[in-house]
Structure 1
Amino acid sequence: MELAETNLIPARRANRQSAEVTASCPVRDVLDRVGDKWSALIVRELDHGPRRFGVLRRAIEDISQRMLTETLRNLQRDGFISRKVIPATPPQVEYALTPMGQSLQGALSALAQWSAQNHDAIRSARLTYDHATP
């Protein structure tokens, strides 16, 4: 048991060190946010204009309520989106891109266009690799 506990300590330190490296590296820090599974899809959806939570959830069909909430909070924390509470009964919340989020959308749009242009070639390369690898 002591050996297992000893092996866990370096892993924890490695994670802590990785967080320090990520925080000091702008590329890693930003890509950790916008490169996750949901952030880019939310930013792309908000490019069409402000959206309420339910509209976002319906637009991104396979995202859970919990994950949408968490991702929206992270995007708001990083300054990519704003959250506006609309006084109504019940209260409504609307999300919109900030100017920084709009500038990110430009980069994501270029990436989406590149992805569409190269998707067939990437899939073909994967098949070739998978058939060649034992």
Structure 2
Amino acid sequence: MAHSATKRSDITLSNCGYSKVLDIISSKWAALVIYAMENGKIRYGQMLRRVEGISKKMLTQTVRKLERDGLVQRHITPTVPVSVEYSLTALGESLLQPMKTLRQWGRDNYTQVVEARVKYDFVGTPDSVPTSPITSS
């Protein structure tokens, strides 16, 4: 009797570099907040105005998460009132180019994605497409 080796998954969430990166930038706001800092230091209020639709609470949570991940740093200037600016760290800046590439892919291809979705929704799921009928003679 042949011995069957146990097949091990070679793609896992715990070891996948893609999923780890997506965990960092895939929140609704993270990429937009990173883009808000791509030109250097920016004040909180400026970011709030630049990122359309983000609430103060969500901006604060997003900046804190990115700071925790080592992508953003906070600069405090002891003025009255205290001035706080945010910028990308070297690690955060190293993420800009891959994100810009992904953004360009979206600009170049998203229309095709929308067309595919419309076609899929119109035709239905692959499971709902009838198979070729068996005809009797």
Same fold per TM (> 0.5)?
yes
Which protein shows a greater Rg? 2
The equivalent of 1:85 in structure 2 is 76
Give 3-state SS (helix, strand or coil) of 1:93's partner: strand
Per-residue CA deviations over 1:40-90 (Å, capped at 9, x if unaligned) read 111111112111000000000201100100000000000111101111211
Give 3-state SS (helix, strand or coil) of 1:89's partner: coil
Aligned residue type for 1:61: E
Give the 5 Å matches for 1:9-24.
none
The equivalent of 2:24 in structure 1 is 33
The equivalent of 2:60 in structure 1 is 69
Q: Residues 23, 88 of structure 1: CA spacing in aligned structure 2 closer, same or farther, 3 A cutoff?
A: farther
Give the 5 Å matches for 1:1-134.
25-133=16-124
TM-score, reference length from structure 1: 0.78
Aligned residue type for 1:89: V
Determine what percentage of the aligned residue pairs are the same residue.
38
Query: Where does structure 1 differ by over 4 angstroms across 4 or more consecutive aligned residues?
Result: 21-26
Q: Residues 41, 84 of structure 1: CA spacing in aligned structure 2 closer, same or farther, 3 A cutoff?
A: same
RMSD: 1.6
Report the alpha carbon displacement of residue 22 of structure 1 after superposing the two structures with TM.
Answer: 5.4
Count residues in correspondence: 114
What runs of 5+ residues in structure 2 fail to find an aligned partner?
1-11, 126-137
TM-score, reference length from structure 2: 0.77
Give 3-state SS (helix, strand or coil) of 2:76's partner: strand
Higher helix share: 1
What runs of 5+ residues in structure 1 fail to find an aligned partner?
1-20
Give 3-state SS (helix, strand or coil) of 2:85's partner: strand
